[in-house]
Amino acid sequence: MFENYDFGKYGFFLVLSCIMASILGVLLIGSAKEELQVNQVQGLVIGVIVMMILSFIDYHIILKFYIAIYGIAIALLIAVKLYGASGGGASRWFVFMGLRFQPSELVKILLILFYAQFIMKHKDNINTLRFLLLSVLLILPPFYLIFDQPDLSTSIMILAIFATVMLIGGLSFKVIIPVIVVIVPSVIIFLNFVMQPDQSILNDYQQKRILAWLQPEQYASTEAYQQLNSITAIGSGQLTGKGLNNNVISSVKNGNFISEAQTDFIFSIAGEELGFVGCCGIIILLFIIVLQCIIIAWTAKDTAGMIIAGGMAGLVGFQTFINIGVTTMILPDTGLPLPFFSYGQTSLISLLIGMGVVLNVKLQSLDF
């Protein structure tokens, strides 16, 4: 398994970057909700072990089972719909001995792997109508099953991942430009429609989140409450923050003005406790991870490797932008975790699984 690899190509810097981000995430989670810190450490240890093992397994061997990978993704989503635990009006998790497993987080990685092989096998036909229709048809089941949980934010991420892998796979701009021409006005029409009182596409809470983003003053004590307090927390940290695990009475976190801050609003904790410097450090660290994945994609020896590394770059990049956009109220509240930083064993382990495959792509990369 090792003899054909040039270990001078091993992505030690990517491993270090992922571990550094995860450790900082553990510290922030401990500050937000101390009793969850041990669980996140366990997830980190498991994730790093799996990442290291996968980094030495030829990704072509994994991709041979691409049909099974797609089947597992669909089976997990159907199973959680039928047998998953419900919470907050959604059914997104399995619960084992008090620990929650969220299949949609793993499905993001599985779909990147599936499309990597699927596109490579049909790369000469990627711009044909038949292939495009088949590709769209295959993304619809996971999209719908996640949307129906309901989980609008993750279903949007599924579409973002799909668009990324198709673009990397060689989709022609002759196809992309007409699609954009259709999508942009469609999104505008869609937003106008879902703002109507009698609309039936979005759940009531999802519609109110969008309205709270557009008119925060009218929802200051309800749907916009979380985001407005997030902005206050980030601003209160000023340049260097109030320090991790501080006991400052005026702390937004200590006053419990941000609920479940250890998950989707972990960046708010970083802003208050680490300040502008700490927030910049987090953004730079995540940018470095994305950049390394892009470089690995650029030097990959085949289309599949390019899609795997580029898909992971897109996943981390888009999710980072959306999460930070939510905490700073640039975007409506969506409920996406900040990669490597937000609490959640499934999210962390899934990301490290993806990075393990990216590391193997790098081990087999071309020389320049």
Tens-digit pLDDT profile for residues 130-172: 999 999 999 999 999 999 888 888 999 999 999 999 999 998 8
Give the angle subtended at the CA of 158 by the CAs of 69 and 260, to the nearest 5°.
110
Average pLDDT over residues 226-241: 90
Q: What percent of the chain has pLDDT over 90?
A: 59
How far is the C-alpha of 346 from the C-alpha of 53, rounded, in Å? Answer: 18
- 327 close to 230: Cβ distance less than 8 angstroms: yes
Residue 348 has pLDDT above 90, yes or no: yes
* DSSP assignments along 269-314, one per residue: HHHHHHHHHHHHHHHHHHHHHHHHHHHHHHH-SSHHHHHHHHHHHH
pTM (2 d.p.): 0.92
How far is the C-alpha of 220 from the C-alpha of 337, rounded, in Å? Answer: 23
Residue 258 confidence class, pLDDT cut points 50, 70, 90: confident
Instruction: Please classify residue 123 by burial: count the beta carbons closer than 10 Å to its beta carbon, then call 0-12 exposed, 13-18 middle and 19+ buried.
Output: middle
Instruction: Please classify residue 84 by burial: count the beta carbons closer than 10 Å to its beta carbon, then call 0-12 exposed, 13-18 middle and 19+ buried.
Output: buried
Average pLDDT over residues 68-81: 95
Residue 321 has pLDDT above 90, yes or no: yes
Give helix then strand counts, H and E, for the chain: 13, 3
Q: What are phi and psi of 86, to 5 degrees?
A: -100, 150
How far is the C-alpha of 81 from the C-alpha of 145, rounded, in Å? Answer: 8
Residue 256 confidence class, pLDDT cut points 50, 70, 90: confident
- The SS3 of residue 227 is helix
Tens-digit pLDDT profile for residues 27-56: 999 998 889 999 999 999 999 999 999 999
Domain residue extents for the chain: 7-363
Sequence-ordered list of residues with C-beta below 8 angstroms from that of 202, at least 6 positions apart, any chain: 152, 194, 210
